[in-house]
Structure 1
Amino acid sequence: MSRFILPAAALLFFIFESIFANLFSGGLFGSDRIYVPRFIMVFIAFLTIYGTKRTGVLYALVLGICYDVVYTEILGIYTFLLPALAYLLSKTMKVLQSNLLVAIFVTAFFVGLLEVADYQMNVLIHFADMGYQKFAEIRLLPTLLLNLAFIILFAFPLRQLVEKYETKLDTI
């Protein structure tokens, strides 16, 4: 039964990200800021940091495919970006310590990388027409602040969840 905990948590984060985006959109509060929840990236980052690289990249690939199919018009962007960032994150954490404070800042940095890479891909295929300065002001900074708050709130429980159930998966 414990082998279903991490997939269930992944599904929960996947669904919660969509619900959060719909309920707390910038238009709701009369703001022109765009708050993009990247809870899936946070989950993948903690899987990669406190679990294994293999698990992090595998979940990133599956969640990236799901994200592309459900939420985006272009298939392949998240299918490529999420596993690539999980792999880079695993290489980064080989150099850094994996304590909770470092994990929080590294995860926030990789959320920012995901957001910038997503923006660059949309500019490349002419889906986005705003300049980088406007993107940074309207979307990147609010997204980083929202996700940093989420990371701080859920860092300890996520770390405990991954450490507990990732080790159980290795023994099965």
Structure 2
Amino acid sequence: MRRLFLPLILLLLVVLEGVALDILPSNLIDGDLMITPHWVLMFLVLVAIFYDSEETYHSILYAMVFGLLIDIAYTGILGVYMFTYGGVIYIIHGLRNMLHSNIYTILLFGIMGVAAADFIINIIFYVIGIMDALWMDYLMYRLIPSILANSLFVLLFYPLFAKRLAKWREQLS
């Protein structure tokens, strides 16, 4: 039963990402800022650091599967989120042993992950012709607010899931 918790949490986060803009206060949405929720990615950062061991790659597999699910549900192009999330989590999985697993490391990896994923996704959308905003506008009105909002999300989820994921890893082995 415990093996189903991670996919169920990730599925719930995929659904909540779709209604995230309805949850946020209207003065944030009506302004110039465009916040992109990457809650699945933030949770996968926690999974990569606290649940995966050196020999397991659950977070990368979940990144690919739920990235594809995000592509199917919210974008018209398959593979953009799948490969972006998979690549970002793969890099975080490889870098996680360089630093201790604490709130600062999670925040650093979360900021790096959101910045890299959002930038790569928007480069792909720019090449395809879906995004046509100026890069300075993208940086100021979309990337920085998205990084800040997703950092708040990971700060909220860290106390809830850090010890629980480590406990589930111990029960897995």
**Structures share a fold, TM > 0.5?**
yes
Aligned positions, number: 170
TM-score normalized with structure 2 length: 0.90
Aligned counterpart for 1:69 among listed residues 68, 72, 92: 72
Aligned counterpart for 1:93 among listed residues 96, 104, 110: 96
Question: Aligned ranges for residues 37-116 of structure 1 at < 5 Å?
Answer: 37-52=37-52, 53-116=56-119
CA RMSD of aligned residues (A): 1.8
The more displaced of 156-165 and 37-46 is 156-165
Q: Residue 135 of structure 1 aligns to which amino acid in structure 2?
A: Y
TM-score normalized with structure 1 length: 0.90
CA distance in 1, matches of 2:35, 2:153: 12
Q: In 2, are the aligned partners of 1:112 and 1:140 still within 8 Å (CA)?
A: yes
Q: Residue 90 of structure 2 aligns to which amino acid in structure 1?
A: Y
Residue 93 of structure 1, CA deviation: 1.2
- Structure 2 segments unaligned to the other structure (5+ residues): none
Runs ≥4 residues deviating over 4 A: 25-29
The more displaced of 85-94 and 26-35 is 26-35
Q: Which residue in 2 is equivalent to 1:118?
A: 121
Identity of aligned residues (%): 24
